[in-house]
Amino acid sequence: MGLILKHVEKTKSGRWQYRRRVPKEVAEVIDKREFKRVLGDTEREALKVYPQFHAEVERAIEKAKGDAGHVAAADRNELTTRQAFGIARARAASLAHDADTAEKREAIIEALSAPYDLDEETLDPLNATEVDRMVINILRNGAEATKRPDPTLEDAKKLYFSEKQRTDTPEQLRSLMGQVNRSILLTQEAFGRDPVLTEMTREDARNVRDHMLDQVKVNGERISAASVQKYLNLLKAVINTAANEMGLPATFKNPFNDLKIPKPKGAPDAGEGEKREPLPPEVLKAVRNRILSRVRIPEARLIWRLLEGTGCRLSEVRGLRVEDVTTEGETPHISVAWHDERRVKAESSFRCVPLVGDALEAAREAVAASEGDKFLFVRYLGKNGADNISSLLMGHVRKETANPKHVVHSLRHNMKDWLREAEVSKQDQDLILGHASSDVGDRVYGGNVARLRAATRAMKKALGVD
């Protein structure tokens, strides 16, 4: 590299990577072993990204030093026992420099205990903060004799949020925190405490699952099995992150992995097709006419036309950038890609979706109306954008059908049916809808241009477009 950058190395694959061990003096406050991030594939990319990330790491370390040296700066009510211990041990280490004799050590302990009531026999402070109590204990018994608390589920949650702050937008983080907090709270209710991660068993996991299934919401209904499954998936993610980052034993197994929701006796397996149904032709026509004639917001009308003509998810259309749309040439299409305003569901969802017929006209109108904006539908970005467009479209769907299986997402099921009826191959169906293919050859080999041409032919056939 032309410049020598601290903590930067070149990996075996040729990528430039920032890698820095957490300093010992804050190792008890920053609950992971190292800061690590890929800066780019080239020297130029690394040089561009390095200053900001290096500054973020420096700020994180400085903040941790302040937390370790100044307990008053920490929110005592929000500290877990493990976090309190980290701060206490760092503070005790700092105080130990002035406690080079037994007399000085006792004087420091006496000063720390002075604000609190003391036990008449042991002289231990009775109402001390957890941090002060731990500092006194460490000074008396030595850090080696004081075992660091094992991480609990609350520790795991805080680490998970800390990591997510680096990747998620504030809007996404708020939504995620609400669901994770609910999942953690239900789990702690089932345990009757904040459980230590390494002490949780498979039996405990089943008890948590059953506790969630037994919960009743405000409207008197039980939490659905689908919601419980979502909570369990979040739990798995939180605990797996802790297992990777908090140094849990190699023998640790997440007790929530592969935990199934039991189905009632005699009930069939509930697949996605049973939760949602395609809109019948008469309903689809009525909803379309209603939206195009009654909705005053042009962006909403265009979004409906694109959903109907592509089979994309609402989030995929809502977050389209102008650069994602190609309306001219042999194969007009939209590119479903990851960016800061829109996360993509899975690797298979990264794709090019053909634009034909009315969807192509809608895309051209949307690009023309963007007037230099980066995004096609700026109105529906930001904090409430997703809820606003979803509520608006669903309101009109409900005016034409009361069937709970008829929703905006039904348009994807319509597209699936049209592709099937046109005898489009499973491979081309997956290309259009962004479903994972079980055939490795389909996923790995071949070029994007050929895939897009095949998908365009399939889309035209399904929609009856010449």
86-95, 152-161, 248-257, 389-398: range with lowest mean pLDDT? 86-95
Same domain flag for 129 and 169: no
pLDDT at 25 over 60: yes
Mean of pLDDT values over 41-52? 84
276 in a structural domain: no
What is the per-residue pLDDT for 460? 92
What is the per-residue pLDDT for 271? 47
184-188, 263-267, 456-460: range with lowest mean pLDDT? 263-267
**Exposure on the CB side of residue 201, measured as CA atoms within 13 A:** 3
285-289, 373-377, 434-438, 444-448: range with lowest mean pLDDT? 444-448
Phi, psi at 344, each rounded to 5°: -100, 140
How far apart CA 81 and CA 205 sit, in angstroms, is 23
pLDDT tens-digit readout, 151-164:
999 999 999 988 88
Say what the pTM is: 0.48
How far apart CA 99 and CA 106 sit, in angstroms, is 8
pLDDT at 299 over 80: yes
Q: Hey, is 138 helix, strand or coil? A: helix
Same domain flag for 287 and 378: yes
Bridge-partner residues for 334, per DSSP?
325, 353
What is the per-residue pLDDT for 22? 82
13 in a structural domain: yes
Closest CA to 165 of 176, 181, 151, 178: 176
What is the per-residue pLDDT for 371? 81
Same domain flag for 61 and 96: no
85 in a structural domain: yes
Q: What's at 289, amino acid-wise?
A: N
What is the per-residue pLDDT for 209? 93
2 in a structural domain: no
Same domain flag for 290 and 252: no
What is the per-residue pLDDT for 105? 77
H/E stretch holding 417 reads: helix 410-421
Same domain flag for 59 and 77: no
Bridge-partner residues for 333, per DSSP?
326, 354
What is the per-residue pLDDT for 122? 67
What is the per-residue pLDDT for 273? 44
Q: What count of other Cβ atoms lies within 10 Å of the Cβ of residue 157?
A: 26
34-43, 131-140, 175-184, 263-272: range with lowest mean pLDDT? 263-272
Same domain flag for 93 and 189: no
Q: Hey, is 247 helix, strand or coil? A: coil
H/E stretch holding 95 reads: helix 81-96
Query: Concatenated DSSP letters for 21-32?
Result: EPPGGGTTTS-S
Same domain flag for 352 and 429: yes
Place of tokens 């890609």: 337
What is the per-residue pLDDT for 297? 93
pLDDT at 107 over 50: yes
pLDDT at 456 over 70: yes
86-90, 229-233, 300-304, 400-404: range with lowest mean pLDDT? 86-90
pLDDT tens-digit readout, 311-353:
999 988 998 999 999 999 999 999 887 655 555 444 446 788 9
What is the per-residue pLDDT for 171? 67
What is the per-residue pLDDT for 61? 82
| Structural domain count of the chain | 4
Place of tokens 């004087």: 107
Here the tokens at position 95 are 């105080």
Same domain flag for 20 and 43: yes
3 in a structural domain: no
pLDDT tens-digit readout, 194-245:
999 999 999 999 999 999 988 765 445 677 888 889 899 999 999 999 998 8
Confidence of residue 28 (pLDDT cuts 50, 70, 90): low
What is the per-residue pLDDT for 216? 63
Which of 252-256, 261-265, 379-383 reaches the highest mean pLDDT?
A: 252-256
Place of tokens 């660091």: 148
What is the per-residue pLDDT for 133? 80
Query: Concatenated DSSP letters for 291-316?
Result: HHHH---HHHHHHHHHHHHH---HHH
H/E stretch holding 19 reads: strand 16-21
Q: Given its phi and psi angles, is residue 180 left (phi above 0), alpha (psi -120 to 50 degrees) or beta?
A: alpha
pLDDT at 428 over 80: yes
Same domain flag for 364 and 332: yes
What is the per-residue pLDDT for 303? 96
What is the per-residue pLDDT for 144? 59
pLDDT at 170 over 60: yes
How far apart CA 51 and CA 9 sit, in angstroms, is 15
Q: What average pLDDT does the structure give for the chain?
A: 81
What is the per-residue pLDDT for 217? 57
306 in a structural domain: yes
**pLDDT above 90 coverage of the chain, percent:** 35
275 in a structural domain: no
What is the per-residue pLDDT for 101? 75
What residue spans of 165-280 are helical by DSSP H?
170-191, 202-214, 225-245, 272-275
Domain of 348: which CATH number? Answer: 1.10.443.10
User: Do residues 39 and 17 touch, judged by C-beta distance below 8 A?
Assistant: yes
Q: Measured between alpha carbons, how far is residue 194 from residues 155, 189, 245, 282 in Å?
A: 9, 9, 19, 54
Which of these three, 121, 145, 169, is where a domain ends?
145
Same domain flag for 209 and 127: no
pLDDT tens-digit readout, 357-414:
999 999 999 999 988 788 999 888 876 788 889 999 999 999 999 998 999 999 999 9
Same domain flag for 185 and 56: no
Q: Quick one: 115 exposed, middle or buried, by C-beta within 10 A (0-12, 13-18, 19+)? A: exposed
Range of the domain at 46: 8-69
Mean of pLDDT values over 188-196? 91
Same domain flag for 102 and 140: yes
Which of these three, 145, 174, 205, is where a domain ends?
145
What is the per-residue pLDDT for 351? 83
What is the per-residue pLDDT for 326? 93
What is the per-residue pLDDT for 102? 77
Which of these three, 69, 87, 116, is where a domain ends?
69
163 in a structural domain: yes
